[in-house]
């Protein structure tokens, strides 16, 4: 008898927790294009602007393990509520950040916001895995994660349709060149105030939505699952996790995956800009990429009924490498199309790596094991500044530096492919 993906007794909880995946997807992907927005309005280099991602994903690295320890002591529900509270606090801090016109304050706001996301992801991912049989856990997580890009698409749409077109600093002359940098300081100050308020408003609205979710979950009784079993000491857990090769390599692989994802989605605007495409139009390519990502997530979840998830991870890793090579070697719109195409192959990677890594982890170790996988999101803080440094070079051996910079995600996809192959060989 085939195991149900989600049992009836867990259905409401599954739906409620799955909605959180969309919430942090929105935050992730409205923030990615903000790197380019801040770069223009605050007159920053690509490297300096990438500190947005350092702050955003650095919050995950800082808070993932404390979140797990909190959950071990209290409960999934407590972790979710604290996460939502921190999420809303970070979002509302955009109000004073915009008033002060302080880039570092924006970074601090995002840093605190992602404290909340760290709590949510550390809680929600293992919670979803526990809502049913072990045999269907990876498929169940892929289904839940499929709603993450729905939130991401919403974030991208807001960025593309509301934020980026409204930026006065990105206005262009007849030749398609920005002229903000040529204005007087007084003119720049007026434009900067307007643009930072435009950037601020979606985060404030997001904070309100998060508070509403806080209230709903506060009044919802959460079911007890096998993951709520009595916890062992943290040192014993760490020892078991370290000796679990698939888990240990999975954490490192997850770090490379998140780094690749953030680089591909953050710098697609700079890639398009090098082709003379404005930010608002360039963001449309990001939306198309995310649409492919979403469709592919549902397709890959279906394929897992017939194809081993580890083998599928390796195949998708190879596909991502081929597309990345195209974006590096081909200068022009075809290269941009290759860059967009990477998203179709990234679709299954995060939940599949997550599921494979935790598949044989003892239930006593799940919360802390999940924390290190969430902590691995720090890859999104480490690699983008390196890519920004390459982009700032302009050209590398006569080739556009923005194209060359995608050697970094190419390396990440190679690591992911190797992990898929290694984990599959260990299985068979």
**DSSP code of 365?**
G
pLDDT band at 300 (very low <50, low <70, confident <90, very high): confident
d(C-alpha 295, C-alpha 297), whole Å = 5
Q: Residue 149: inside a domain, yes or no?
A: yes
Stretch 228-249: mean pLDDT: 73
CATH number of the domain enclosing 66:
1.20.1250.20
At 233 the pLDDT is: 65
Stretch 54-59: mean pLDDT: 83
| pLDDT over 90 (residue 84) | yes
Q: Which of 30-34, 76-80, 143-147, 260-264 holds the top average pLDDT? A: 260-264
At 412 the pLDDT is: 95
At 46 the pLDDT is: 76
Number of domains in the chain: 1
Stretch 3-19: mean pLDDT: 76
Stretch 156-181: mean pLDDT: 75
Q: Residue 3: inside a domain, yes or no?
A: no
Q: Residue 421: inside a domain, yes or no?
A: yes
At 335 the pLDDT is: 92
At 207 the pLDDT is: 93
Q: State the number of CA atoms in the 13 A half-sphere of 197 facing the CB.
A: 8
| pLDDT over 80 (residue 115) | yes
d(C-alpha 295, C-alpha 300), whole Å = 9
d(C-alpha 203, C-alpha 90), whole Å = 9
Q: Residue 341: inside a domain, yes or no?
A: yes
Stretch 93-117: mean pLDDT: 91
> Would you state the structure tokens that stand for residue 340, as one six-digit string?
């967009």
| pLDDT over 50 (residue 1) | no
pLDDT band at 228 (very low <50, low <70, confident <90, very high): very low
Residue in this structure with the two tokens 């992602």, named with its chain if needed? 114
pLDDT band at 6 (very low <50, low <70, confident <90, very high): low
- Which H helix or E strand runs over 317? helix 309-329
At 226 the pLDDT is: 46
Q: How many helices (H) and strands (E) does the chain have?
A: 21, 2
At 224 the pLDDT is: 63
Stretch 221-229: mean pLDDT: 58
Q: What is each CA distance from 263 to 167, 251, 260, 300, in whole angstroms?
A: 23, 19, 5, 22
Q: Which residues of 49-63 are buried (b: 16+ CB within 10 A; e: fewer)?
A: bbbbbbbbbbbbbbb
Stretch 132-151: mean pLDDT: 73
At 178 the pLDDT is: 66
Q: Residue 391: inside a domain, yes or no?
A: yes
Percent of the chain with pLDDT over 70: 91
pLDDT band at 234 (very low <50, low <70, confident <90, very high): low
The domain in which residue 282 lies consists of 8-225+233-427
Q: Residue 2: inside a domain, yes or no?
A: no
**DSSP code of 399?**
E
Q: Residue 1: inside a domain, yes or no?
A: no
Residue among 425, 382, 161, 378 at smallest CA distance from 280 = 161
Stretch 343-352: mean pLDDT: 89
Stretch 184-213: mean pLDDT: 88
Model confidence pLDDT, tens digit, residues 357-381: 887 777 677 767 877 887 887 787 7
| Helix-strand-coil split of the chain, %, nearest 5 | 80, 0, 20
Q: Residue 247: inside a domain, yes or no?
A: yes
Stretch 28-51: mean pLDDT: 80
Output the average pLDDT for the chain: 83
At 225 the pLDDT is: 55
């Amino acid at each position: 008898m085939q195991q149900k993906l989600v049992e009836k007794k867990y259905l409401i909880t599954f739906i409620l927790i799955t909605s959180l995946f969309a919430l942090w997807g929105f935050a992730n992907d409205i923030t990615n294009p903000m790197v380019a927005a801040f770069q223009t309005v605050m007159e920053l280099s690509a490297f300096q602007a990438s500190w947005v991602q350092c702050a955003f994903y650095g919050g995950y690295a800082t808070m993932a393990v404390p979140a797990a320890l909190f959950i071990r002591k209290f409960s999934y529900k407590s972790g979710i509520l604290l996460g939502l509270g921190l999420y809303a606090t970070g979002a509302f801090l955009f109000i004073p950040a915009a008033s002060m016109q302080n880039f570092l304050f924006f970074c601090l706001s995002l840093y605190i916001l992602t404290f909340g996301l760290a709590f949510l992801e550390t809680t929600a991912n293992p919670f979803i895995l526990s809502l049913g049989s072990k045999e269907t856990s990876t498929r169940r997580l892929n289904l839940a994660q499929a709603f993450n890009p729905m939130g991401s698409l919403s974030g991208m749409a807001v960025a593309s349709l509301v934020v980026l077109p409204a930026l006065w600093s990105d206005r262009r002359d007849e030749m398609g060149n920005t002229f903000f940098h040529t204005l007087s300081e007084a003119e720049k100050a007026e434009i900067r105030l307007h643009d930072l308020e435009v950037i601020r408003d979606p985060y404030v609205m997001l904070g309100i939505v998060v508070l509403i979710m806080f209230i709903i979950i506060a009044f919802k009784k959460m079911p007890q699952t096998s993951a709520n079993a009595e916890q062992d000491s943290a040192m014993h857990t760490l020892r078991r996790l370290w000796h679990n090769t698939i888990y240990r390599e999975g954490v490192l692989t997850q770090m490379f995956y998140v780094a690749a994802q953030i680089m591909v989605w953050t710098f697609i605007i700079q890639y398009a800009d090098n082709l003379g495409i404005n930010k608002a139009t360039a963001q449309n390519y990001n939306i198309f990429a995310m649409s492919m990502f979403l469709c592919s997530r549902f397709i890959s979840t279906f394929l897992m009924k017939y194809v081993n998830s580890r083998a599928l991870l390796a195949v998708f890793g190879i596909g991502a490498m081929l597309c990345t090579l195209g974006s590096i070697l081909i200068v022009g719109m075809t290269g941009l199309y290759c860059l967009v195409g990477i998203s179709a192959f990234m679709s299954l990677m995060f939940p599949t790596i997550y599921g494979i890594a935790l598949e044989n982890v003892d239930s006593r170790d799940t919360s802390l094991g999940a924390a290190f996988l969430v902590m691995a999101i720090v890859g999104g803080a480490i690699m983008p500044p390196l890519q920004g440094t390459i982009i700032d070079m302009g050209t590398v051996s006569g080739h556009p530096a923005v194209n060359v910079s995608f050697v970094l995600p190419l390396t990440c996809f190679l690591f992911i492919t190797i992990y898929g192959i290694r984990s599959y060989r260990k299985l068979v």
